[in-house]
Amino acid sequence: ASVMSLFCKHQGKYAVDVDYNGAVDIVASKTDNTIYLHVANTDMNSPQTLFLNIGGKKIKSQIL
């Protein structure tokens, strides 16, 4: 219940489609100009590198 209460406070009104093929579980949502990403690395041994393309703006991030 504690984890779910954190998600409720940090999620958007509308779901956003996410495409990723790798050891990462991603859920995205948005409200107005804010996009919320809930990201979990499912590989316990290796960090994952993500390349995000949000509205034409490209962002690189590493998830431990």
DSSP letters along 2-61, please? Answer: HHHHHHHHT--SEEE-----SSEEEEEEEETTEEEEEEEE--SSS-EEEEEEETTEEEEE
Q: Using one digit for the tens of pLDDT, what is the confidence trace for 16-47?
A: 888 888 898 888 899 998 888 888 889 999 99
Q: Which of 4-8, 28-32, 59-63 is predicted with the least confidence, judged by mean pLDDT? A: 4-8
State the chain's mean pLDDT as an integer: 82
Instruction: Identify the sign of the CA torsion 36, 42, 44, 50.
Output: negative
Cα–Cα distance for residue pair 19/35, rounded to 1 Å? 15
